[in-house]
Amino acid sequence: MPADNNVMEKLVSLAKRRGFVFQSSEIYGGLGSVWDYGPLGVELKKNLKERWWRSMVHEREDIEGLDAAILMHPKVWEASGHIAGFTDPLVDCKHCKNRFRADDPRIKGTPGEPDAQCPVCGSRGTLTAPRLFNLMFKTFMGPVEEAAAVVYLRPETAQGIYVNYLNVLQASRQKIPFGIAQVGKAFRNEITPGNFTFRTREFEQMEMQFFVKPGTDGEWFEFWKAQRMEWHYGLGIRREKLRFHQHTKEELAHYAKDAYDLEYEFPFGWREFEGVHNRSDFDLSRHQQFSGKKLEYLDPATKERFIPYVVETSVGADRTALVVMCDAYREETVEGETRVVMGFNPAIAPLKAAVFPLVNKDGMPELARRIFDDLRRHFNVFYDDSGSIGRRYRRQDEAGTPYGITVDGQSVGDGTVTVRDRDTLRQERVAGDRLVSHLGDKLKM
Ligand code: GAP
């Protein structure tokens, strides 16, 4: 799909040029599948995380927040099944020493057989048969680098929630059904690189585990599926670009009774960016077994004891940011000129407005500065007085800034300014001292 690959190339280039995303350690040649967020990218991702947190924790009485550590007791990963099962089958090329996932679509033939061809060096018969490779990063805790000191960088945030489930339950005096939400870094030594920030080795997850009475898990699963799709609609993502995919038996993770992916149609095809999983009592039962601590819930009304079932919603903050960027990117022709626009929903746009003095004289910069100083106490806004006004608008279109506020000759006389809408290009005159409430109303989306 050459046209669509082109979109990704343009997006990657815009992301760097405007300060959304940079390659990690770029001056040293970069670090594979690791990315840094620049001034606009960090705002975008922060807005997404805050919106998620608000919808999960602040707007619901039955969900509590948590921030568990990245490093956990190594037994956690035995109990969770990650040490035994969090693996990808990989093949090596004996000639060029490159390593690939066994299902890499670029491989021709069957790895381990003479017909298989290395996708990098093109040698035939040099690919090994698939071997399992664990995706968890290992490190050592304490001063001695020995097997007994091995700890892992967590590959998902969920386990920090399970091992704290009783602590949170008791401290918050919640009753089942209730949930625990967490946002944090996760690490996976992924082997398939590419597609920009889609699959990275360090990323952030926004996960919520909802603990329910066995037998009610099916209903809650449907409830959370619907909620999560609505949340994505609320970000302004085009509905026709979103769909569910139910996992087949072969696709189901070791912990899952049922699972749906929420998929987005990226320029490189339909891909998952959120999972909604019915994890049954797998995780809590395993932690009870491995820790020897009772993790049962005593229902105060019926006096029944049971291990709760878990319905999980798990979405990547980075992958959602990529969805939002892909969905926002558009090129259009305005009066014979091409403009590139990041059409973010204003509520998640990194910058809410930019303030421009039309020219740098006649009292305009002073008034523009005053307006900027007033606005910045309420919103993330930008001041730009360099270049023609047309160029300044174009730069903000690329940054996805929904409103451009221009201070002109009339402003100095009557205190009004023009507010340009990024999408419609319409301009309206607004009193400078009404801007905070004017923008505030528009940004409530
Ligand atoms: N706790 C369940 C869990 O981790 P997952 O489907 O492996 O489930 C959930 O991951 C989400 O985390 C994915 O839908 C994706 O958005 C994000 N994610 C997973 N691996 C990722 C990676 N290597 N790079 C970026 N995001 C990733």
> Whose CA is closest to 178, among 69, 311, 327?
311
DSSP 8-state secondary structure symbol assigned to residue 353: E
What pLDDT, on a 0 to 100 scale, did the predictor assign at position 445? Answer: 60
Ligand 1 neighbour 255 (Cβ under 6 A): no
Which token pair is 246?
């139910």
Question: Smallest Cα–Cα separation from 293: which of 143, 399, 170, 163?
Answer: 163
Q: Residue 264's closest CA among 230, 232, 311, 226?
A: 232
Q: Which pLDDT belongs to residue 4?
A: 64
- What residue owns the CA closest to ligand 1's atom 21? 199
Q: Residue 193's pLDDT is what? A: 65
Residue 300: strand, helix, or coil = coil
The burial of 399, by beta-carbon neighbours within 10 Å (0-12 exposed, 13-18 middle, 19 or more buried), is given as buried
From CA 9, how far away is CA 331, in angstroms rounded?
Answer: 14
Ligand 1 contact via 205 beta carbon (within 6 Å) = yes
145, 134 contact by CB (below 8 A): no
Q: Pick from 205, 255, 276 the residue to mutate for probing ligand 1's pocket: most ligand atoms within 8 Å of its CB.
A: 205
**Burial of 430 by CB count in 10 Å (0-12 exposed, 13-18 middle, 19+ buried)?**
middle
- The rounded distance, in Å, linking the Cα atoms of 213 and 317 is 29
Beta bridge partners of 132: 89
Instruction: Give residue 437's identity as a one-letter amino acid code.
Output: S
Q: Whose Cα sits closest to atom 12 in ligand 1?
A: 316
Read off the DSSP letter of residue 127: B
* Predicted structure pTM score: 0.94
Q: Where does 57-140 show beta strands of DSSP type E? A: 63-65, 87-92, 99-101, 131-134, 138-140
Contacts by residues 427-431 (CB-CB < 8 Å, ≥ 24 positions apart)? none
d(CA 272, CA 323): 10
| 124 DSSP 8-state letter | B
Q: Indicate which residue's Cα is closest to atom 25 of ligand 1.
A: 199
Tokens of 407: 């201070």
- Which atom of ligand 1 lies nearest, measured to the CA of 207? 1
DSSP characters for 196-241? TTTS-SEEEEEEEEEEE-TTSHHHHHHHHHHHHHHHHHHTT--GGG
Q: Are the C-beta atoms of 388 and 84 separated by less than 8 Å?
A: no
Alpha carbon 261 to its chain's center: 14
* Cα 152 from Cα 294, distance rounded (Å): 25
Please count the other Cβ atoms lying within 10 Å of the Cβ belonging to residue 396: 24
* Whole-number pLDDT of residue 329: 98
Q: How many whole angstroms from 315 Cα to the centroid of ligand 1?
A: 6
Cβ–Cβ under 8 Å, residues 348 and 47: yes
Distances (CA, A) of 226 to 243, 246, 255, 373, 443: 11, 14, 22, 42, 25
List the chain pLDDT tens, one digit each, 445 residues.
445 669 999 999 999 999 999 999 999 999 999 999 999 999 999 999 999 999 999 999 999 999 999 999 999 999 999 999 899 899 999 999 998 888 888 899 999 999 999 999 999 999 999 999 999 999 999 888 887 889 999 999 999 999 999 999 999 999 999 999 999 999 999 987 679 999 999 999 999 999 999 999 999 999 999 999 999 999 999 999 999 999 999 889 878 899 999 999 999 999 999 999 999 999 999 999 999 999 999 999 999 999 999 999 999 999 999 999 999 999 999 888 899 999 999 999 999 999 999 999 999 999 999 999 999 999 999 999 999 999 999 999 999 999 999 999 999 999 999 999 999 999 999 999 999 999 999 887 6
Type and span of the H or E element at 290: helix 282-291
Contacts of 289 (CB under 8 A, 6+ apart): 79
Q: What is the CA(319)–ligand 1 centre distance, in A?
A: 8
Strand partners, 205: 184, 316
pLDDT of residue 52: 98
